[in-house]
A and B are shown apart, each in its own frame.
Chain A
Amino acid sequence: MASLAATVPSQRKWRNPSALPGFGLSFGFTLFYLTAIVLIPLAALVIRPLEIGWSGFAEILTDARVLHSLELSFGGALVAALINSVFGLIVAWVLVRYRFPGKRIVDAVVDLPFALPTAVAGIALSALYAPRGWLGAPLMEYGIRIAYTPFGVIVALTFIGLPFVVRTLQPVMLELGKDSEEAAATLGASRFQTLRRVVFPALTPALLTGTAMAFARAVGEYGSVIFIAGNLPGISEIAPLLIIIKLNENNYAAAAAIGVIMLAASFVLLLGLNLLQTWTASRR
């Protein structure tokens, strides 16, 4: 069966002939699994708001509370991604370029948010930043409140997004090496000029990609945020929580409508990311 697919490639004009077997099986399974697990259930989500029509859909999405939760989810994710782009760049640079004791451990720790369950991160962060927490108490002295404010949301989203920036930048920095910097230096460029003209442009695509991935991961985040956010409607209520609330009010269409908006945003974002990666690859 597998070799059959290879012997009759001419029937499949949409793909180039190949000497390798197994396309039918692997592609068929991929498509089946993707359809069963992802596409059909997502279709159930997309179709659901149809029962309330366009006007109902529009009404839900122009509701002040819904709008604000979307603003917070997207805005918070953006701010967190920007924080991560700055600190992720520094962390990656330090890890690639400098030597210091315990570097390997630090390098491993960068992946912690990836491996640590979000609910655990959520209760740990809220314990830390609550007004009685280790960080919350001293911050309160200065009148700074993190937990139960939009800042808490940003803290949680920053936590989960960091590895994406660092891990995207590291291999590019390694590959970049010091050759081009040396070349620039021999041509008389100052350190600052070298960084600005040579290093930074080379890193830009990876930095963009990493930041976009951190953003994509953060937009829909739920587990780590709800414990620390305080969940005040219109202030610190994120869109995924509002989906749950609408669902629990038996308002399936509204829950699905907010879900559809978030899904559409994810999809566009990922398409953009893939384009960005293709562009990055072509520049290398």
Chain B
Amino acid sequence: MTRPLAPTKDHPLVRWTLTAVALGFIGLFLVLPLVVVFHDALGDGLTAALAAIREPDAIAAIQLTLTAAAIAVPLNAIFGIAASWAIAKFDFAGKGFLVTLIDLPFSVSPVVSGLIYVLVFGLQGWLGPWLAEHDVKIIFALPGIVLATVFVTFPFVARELIPLMTDQGRDEEEAAVSLGASGWATFRRVTLPNIKWGLLYGVLLCNARAMGEFGAVSVVSGHIRGLTDTMPLHIEALYNDYQYSAAFAVASLLALLALVTLVLKSLLEWHFAEEISAAHHH
């Protein structure tokens, strides 16, 4: 009669099988596509890959992507802070509904996210004729690309901060205020230090998504080479231009960005696990 192993432990065979399945799944579904990107980027050699990245249209695309993210991410960070302050520190009716509305862009199709701005700012849309008369460009120009990016990354910072700030409660802030600190000073000296790692974490995710957005930006870009093509759109253009390796070379730049994001994210998680863990309990 053999007594089974400790009942909180899985049988080694189970353990190995599950580990193998998990690693196999991750390898096949996540790692292999990444390997393909770098492998195909070097299809024409390293020199060709570097040349593809230094080409004027590629540089313009990189600049545009960075500019759009540099505007969109801070906007959403400020929004995330304001929204989480209102939601976490106060009680009011309709909070759940408000949170759902904030979450909404997360599950709206990127295509729809672009379409809505065409319907508002396009020449056949609500404001289009007026904008054209006053020579203001929104879609098919930087503002439209920024708007689409803002929409797509809308909830990212707020989603991190709302649960975090709810978890931290209001006691510290209330104490500070009762000691005579102004609202702004309270936020800066008490709240901000408490949420800074969570904020950084949210900004990181927001930024990764902002730089990589394809569908929404594609609808509002106009695809003017060297002018309104972001990096993902430039990749598509190269891919369509028979410049297969060049497309993957620029793609590998974005993939590197993804890897850097992952490393930073992991560092944040390991070192500040407690401070940002609340955010993972949604």
Contact = CB atoms under 8 A, between A and B. Distances in A.
Determine if chain A interacts with chain B: yes
Interface of A: 2-3, 12, 14-16, 18-23, 25-27, 29-30, 33-34, 37-42, 44-45, 48, 87, 90-91, 93-95, 97-98, 100, 104, 106-125, 127-128, 133-135, 155, 158-159, 162, 167-168, 170-171, 178, 181-182, 184-185, 189-191, 194, 209, 216-217, 219-223, 239-241, 243-244, 247, 252, 255-256, 259, 262-263, 266-267, 269-271, 273-274, 277-278
A115 B182 CA distance: 39
Nearest to B178: A19
B83 A26 contact: yes
B21 A15 contact: no
B254 A22 contact: no
A194 B7 contact: yes
A185 to B, nearest CB: 3
20 contacts: A16-B92, A18-B170, A34-B102, A38-B151, A40-B120, A41-B117, A44-B116, A112-B31, A117-B212, A117-B258, A118-B214, A123-B235, A123-B251, A243-B112, A247-B219, A252-B119, A262-B108, A266-B108, A274-B103, A278-B96
A49 to B, nearest CB: 11
A30 B108 contact: no
Nearest to A269: B107
B177 A19 contact: yes
Interface string B256-282: 011101110110001000000100111
B15 interface: yes
Contacts of B125: 44
Interface stretch (B22-30, B44-52, B53-61, B192-200): B22-30
B8 interface: yes
Contact of A256 (B115, B126, B214): B115
B82 interface: yes
B213 interface: yes
B150 interface: yes
B80 to A, nearest CB: 10
Nearest to B239: A123
B17 to A, nearest CB: 9
Given A104-B270, A108-B262, A124-B251, 16 more contacts: A18-B90, A23-B90, A38-B104, A45-B115, A91-B25, A106-B26, A108-B266, A109-B30, A115-B261, A116-B212, A117-B212, A119-B251, A159-B30, A171-B281, A181-B8, A222-B111
Contact of A189 (B7, B110, B124, B255): B7
Q: Pick the most buried of A134, A239, A243: most chain B CB atoms within 10 A of its CB.
A: A243
Nearest to A195: B10
Contacts of A34: 83, 98, 101-102
Contact of A223 (B22, B182, B232): B232
B83 A220 contact: no
Nearest to B204: A115
Contacts of B25: 87, 90-91
A37 B266 contact: no
Contacts of A112: 30-31, 34, 258, 262
Interface in B152-181: 154, 170, 173-174, 177-178
A159 B33 contact: yes
Given A19-B177, A48-B119, A113 B8 contact: no
Contacts of A123: 235, 239, 247-248, 251
Given A15-B93, A114-B208, A217 B7 contact: no
B33 A239 contact: no
Given A87-B21, A191-B10, A115 B151 contact: no
B26 A91 contact: yes
